[in-house]
Amino acid sequence: MSLLLGGLAIGGVYALIAIGVVLCYRATGVVNFAHGELMMIAAYAYAIVHDLTGSPTLEIVAAISAGAVGGLICFLLTGVVMRGAAEMSLVIGTLGVLILLQSGARHLFTDTPLPSEGWLFGDHNLTLFGVSAPANSLLILAALVVVAAAILYWQYATLFGRAVLAVAEDPWRASLAGIRVQSTLAISWLVSGMLAGLAGMLLGPVIGVFPTMGADVLFPAIVAAILGGFGSVAGAFAGGLIIGLLQTFTVVFLGGAVKEAVMFGFLLLVLLWRPSGLFTGPVARKF
């Protein structure tokens, strides 16, 4: 049971990152490869405020705010500075942000992981169905369920969510209907960044805080998004949990050296069966 909860916890982080990537992609058609670095910056922001104040409220605000600001900066790069550029150029732009943020973190903080044992619930355990589990792992799962439900409600049951879907389908027609396309896209990237901040805050106690933590998590998260069907929030949710469980059981029974090979092999088998992924969702035709 503890192994299952551990797999679901790391899968929950993958799912949070995947949902953030999907939000940007379905609105703009751009895969934000800097998304993991937004999570990393948020984790460092949490760590710094934790050391300075010890206030849980300020720590949470710092992490989510750092992710949100990072999301807006990525939008300004792809949606304003590089507006009208080819999609591949926009993707390369996000890769540039990835390299810049990762190099900056290495320069400022070095590669030595920051201690994060006292974050959130620390080493406290909770008993669930007769099994003792880390409280932070249960917090990750609870946060994932709440976030996924909130994003689905926001996108399908609110006017703004429907505006995002309209922009994803056809930005020009959406603008004719009175939708502010750029504002809609900016808010989508803002929310995506906030999810990265939440993921960084939750993942820090699990793996520590170091400059490459974002890249280490991003690629399994992208695999999860592809597995679920790029453009589907529900697919990102399910895909993240599946990849988390798959990696956990692979490490335990086959060893960590083959976990990436098993992950990509599983993805290939699923795509041979369902080329569009387990779920599908609308994506942008162009930025």
110: left (phi over 0), alpha (psi -120 to 50) or beta: left
Nearest-angstrom CA–CA distance, 65 and 48: 13
Report residue 155 as tokens.
Answer: 């996108």
126: which strand partners? Answer: 133
Phi, psi of 255 (to 5 degrees): 105, 150
CB contact at 8 A, 231 and 106: no
pLDDT digits (tens, 9 = 90+) for 27-44: 888 899 999 999 999 999
- Report the candidate in 195, 213, 218, 149 with the shortest Cα–Cα distance to residue 16: 195
CB contact at 8 A, 75 and 186: yes
Q: Per-residue pLDDT averaged across 225-232, rounded?
A: 88
Percent of the chain scored above 70 by pLDDT?
93
pLDDT classification of 128: cutoffs 50, 70, 90: low
Q: How many CB atoms lie within 10 A of CB 144?
A: 25
CB contact at 8 A, 148 and 199: no
Residue ranges in 171-275 assigned as alpha helix (H): 171-176, 181-207, 213-228, 233-253, 259-273
Domains, the chain, in order of start with CATH, read: 2-110+132-273 (1.10.3470)
* pLDDT number for residue 286: 47
pTM more than 0.95: no
Q: Per-residue pLDDT averaged across 117-132, rounded?
A: 68
- Report the candidate in 248, 265, 170, 220 with the shortest Cα–Cα distance to residue 5: 248
pLDDT digits (tens, 9 = 90+) for 161-203: 888 888 878 888 888 888 888 888 899 999 999 999 999 988 8
Percent of the chain scored above 90 by pLDDT?
45
Report residue 240 as tokens.
Answer: 């993240």
pLDDT digits (tens, 9 = 90+) for 54-112: 888 999 999 999 999 999 999 998 877 787 788 788 889 999 999 999 999 999 998 88
